[in-house]
Structure 1
Amino acid sequence: MDVDMVDGCQVVRMYDLPNELSNLLKAIYDGVKFQDDSTNDFFFLAGILRLSNKYFMTHLRSQAISHLSQTWTHTLEGHDAMVERALKSPITNGISFPYVHPIHVLNLAHETGTRVVLPSVLYFLSIYPFADVLRADHAKLTIAHPSKPSSQLAQADVQNYTLMYQHRIELMLDFSRRVCGERRASAQCLKGVQASACTQGFGRLGARMARSWVTRTGPLHWMLQSVKMLDGDGSVCAVCKREFKEDVQRHREAVWEKLPSVVGLPDWNVLVESDLPKLPM
């Protein structure tokens, strides 16, 4: 059998993308530092994650997933930080933070068997209208790059998108109607006129929240905004405001904990242990 040789050594042909293989070799010898300041930063990470997964380079794979999960996070604190950065970061080359479309992250996760980012990715993907998702013509999806994952939503993910979309709408309806609109004054609130004023204040808040959301609203951040709205209502006492803020945070934490189950995934602890065994919750 003919074997290709170079300088007396057998040639092993590699069929990986040249840019990804080059980046992988540099990462092996020089280490790697991931960033998220541009679209290219994501594509760089995508290449490293693909090949480290393919060649069983556990350390590099864990590094890539750890960085990816800082944006597409498994913690509520990480979610809040991501949204805050998205609201404050300037547009870069016509693209807003996080500079990558959830479909690209979703398809990369499927390629590499990475599950810990899926609930967060699907949550943010559900904010996009389905017609836009099917057209796949968003500016973030049309960028040309050899490491770009598929820009099409896989058929198997249509169900997960739909489940998360419906769940997101139900969260906002429940929050505005029940958590806000049906809330009563605190047991520690002054009796009589003040208690009545506080209850009426919650009723007004529920009505405002019901009017404030649209189909592209992210409920977890929107819930935080309700606390700011109530703070501006001078008719509600300090005790009721404090207890409402505490209850909203507990409600958000409960919503976050249940997020994986919406799309049939195990809880966060299992996902983290599977993909990031050395990363504490």
Structure 2
Amino acid sequence: MSTPSQPEVNRKGTDEPETATDSSIVRSEIWFHDGNIVLQAGRTQFKIYQGLLSANSTVFADMFSIPQPPLSGGDLVEGCAVIHLSDSAVDVTYVLEALCKRSHVTIDEPVSISVVAAFVRLGQKYQIDAVLSEALKRLYNEFPVELKNLDDKRYDWDKISYSKGINIDVANLAREQNLLSVLPYALHLCCYVRSDVTMQGVQRKDNTIAKLAPINERAVLAASHSILLLQSSTTFSWLTADGSDECDTHQDCNNGRNQILRNSFFPLPLYTCLATWAREWEDNMCGACALKAQDRHAVGRQKYWDELPSTFGLPDWEELKKERVLSNI
């Protein structure tokens, strides 16, 4: 996880970041007239309460506990000291909306990946447990470490709003913030797009491009072939296995499995590694063969899931689960 960093109270004319001139400063909608501290991210300023920051962030609490030299009038905004942050104004807005207005923190309502990313980045950086915990709950719900939890969700997005490129955004966030337990399933989902799309990126609704970070792109491209081989020996091993000993129509059942094999994997194989059992697969098999195939399919899916982290060069699930135990989520 990220190392907390101290924001700085800067003086004009000395070490103030060259992010904005006085004439270009934008006043955020988060501006409490009785506030006693001003935060500045880029050219956007926010006027809030020092006590609110201290109560929610150990980093700010520690900073405010250190005596500061007096500031001249030119260093103040409406009589308040200005703390310059190196974070994006968008991220700061989302976090302050949560702290000041309780926005984005109703667990029953999905939020955008942008909100989740802001909560993780600033939550870890400034040790704001309330927003960090909220973000991790949502991420861990959508990207579980147990196959059973994924099946219980039925693959629905219910805590984070779905958007184009979201799997890429999640994978990049997880890598950036060292949330490795999120990566196996996130990278698995990234494998579902063509390799040229993986390299070029996915256009979001706002016309920006979601593109895998180089380390994630290499992991996905390197794993693509391995995943196809893995699914043939795990989830879909029943397609090339013998039927049931109780089968009286061996040739018909073999033909049925071969038909599924041709439809699913020729001329180009499909990434269907975690596909649940489909009733139509039983149409050309006897009841005994279908039951045996379904059992092998369930066992194979679990085996595929168990081997998923190593496919992307990550620690095994047991090691990755420790991350979630430590975060108490």
What interval of TM-score do these two structures reach, taking the shorter chain for normalisation? Answer: 0.7 to 0.9
The separation in 2 between residues aligned to 1:216 and 1:152, in whole angstroms, is 22
Letter in 1 for 2:138: H
CA drift at 1:57: 2.5
Q: CA deviation at 1:55?
A: 1.0
Residue type of the alignment partner of 1:151: A
Determine if the alignment matches structure 1 residue 158 to structure 2 residue 208.
no
- Tell me which of 203, 210, 215 is aligned to 1:139: 203
Pairing partner for 2:277 from 197, 201, 224: 224
Q: Aligned letter for 2:204?
A: K
CA contact (8 A) 1:74 1:268 kept: yes
1:68 to 139, 146, 154: 139
Report what 1:33 is aligned to. Answer: 106
Conserved in 2, the CA contact under 8 Å of 1:76 and 1:253? yes
Bigger radius of gyration among the two:
2
Cα 1:246–1:182, aligned 2, differ >3 Å: closer, same or farther? closer
Match of 2:187 in 1: 122
Taking a change above 3 Å as real, the CA distance of residues 64 and 252 of structure 1, as seen in their structure-2 partners, is: same
Unaligned 5+ runs, structure 2: 1-10, 13-70
Give the share of equivalent positions with the same residue, in percent. 19
What secondary structure does 1:19 align onto? helix
TM-score (norm: length of structure 2): 0.65
1:52 and 1:254 mapped to 2: Cα distance?
35
TM-score (structure 1 length as normaliser): 0.74
**Inter-partner Cα distance in structure 1 for 2:85 and 2:248:** 74
Residues 99, 177 of structure 1: alpha-carbon distance in 2 compared, 3 angstrom cutoff: closer
Measure how far apart 1:76 and its partner are. 1.6
Contact 2:203/2:210, CA 8 A, preserved across alignment? no
| Paired letter, 1:263 | F
1:201 to 248, 253, 258: 253
C-alpha contact 2:174 2:182 (8 A) present in aligned 1: yes
> Retained in 2: the 8 A contact 1:201–1:236?
yes
SS at match of 1:247: helix
Structure-1 residue corresponding to 2:29: none
1:250-265 maps to which residues of 2 (within 5 A)? 250-265=299-314
Q: Which amino acid in the other structure matches residue 33 of structure 1?
A: T
User: Are the aligned partners of 1:20 and 1:51 in contact in 2 as well (CA < 8 Å)?
Assistant: yes
Q: In structure 1, list runs of 5 or more residues that go unmatched.
A: 90-95, 145-149, 190-194
Q: Corresponding residue for 1:169?
A: 228
1:232 is matched by which residue type in structure 2? D
Name the CA distance, whole Å, in 2 between partners of 1:272 and 1:261: 14
Rounded Cα–Cα distance in structure 2 between residues aligned with 1:101 and 1:19: 18
SS at match of 2:211: coil
Structure 2 residue identity aligned to 1:231: E
Using a 3 Å threshold, how does the CA distance of structure 1 residues 160 and 28 change in structure 2: closer, same or farther?
A: same
2:243 is paired with a residue whose SS is: coil
Q: Secondary structure at the match of 1:183?
A: coil
Q: CA RMSD in A?
A: 3.2
Q: Aligned residue for 1:236?
A: 286
- Amino acid aligned to 1:52: G
Structure 2 distance, partners of 1:183, 1:124, is 31
Corresponding position of 1:93: none
The residue matched to 2:212 in structure 1 has which SS? coil
Pair 21,251 (structure 1): closer, same or farther in 2 beyond 3 Å: same
Amino acid of the structure 2 residue aligned with 1:114 = L
Q: 1:72 to 1:230 in 2, by over 3 A?
A: same
1: CA distance, partners of 2:124 / 2:133: 9
1:271 has 2:324 as partner:
no
- Does the 8 A contact of 1:104 with 1:151 survive in 2? yes
Helix, strand or coil: the match of 1:12? Answer: strand
Higher relative helix content: 1
Q: CA deviation at 1:266?
A: 1.5
Between 1:59-68 and 1:200-209, the stretch displaced more is 200-209
Q: CA deviation at 1:151?
A: 2.7
Give the secondary structure class of the aligned counterpart of 2:315.
coil
Q: Deviations over 1:130-175 (max 9, x none)?
A: 1112222x3337645xxxxx73323222331123211221134436
Partners of 1:177 and 1:74 in 2: CA distance: 22
Q: Which residue is 1:192 aligned to?
A: none
Q: Distance in 1 between matches of 2:169 and 2:82?
A: 34
The range that moved more, 71-80 or 257-266, is: 71-80
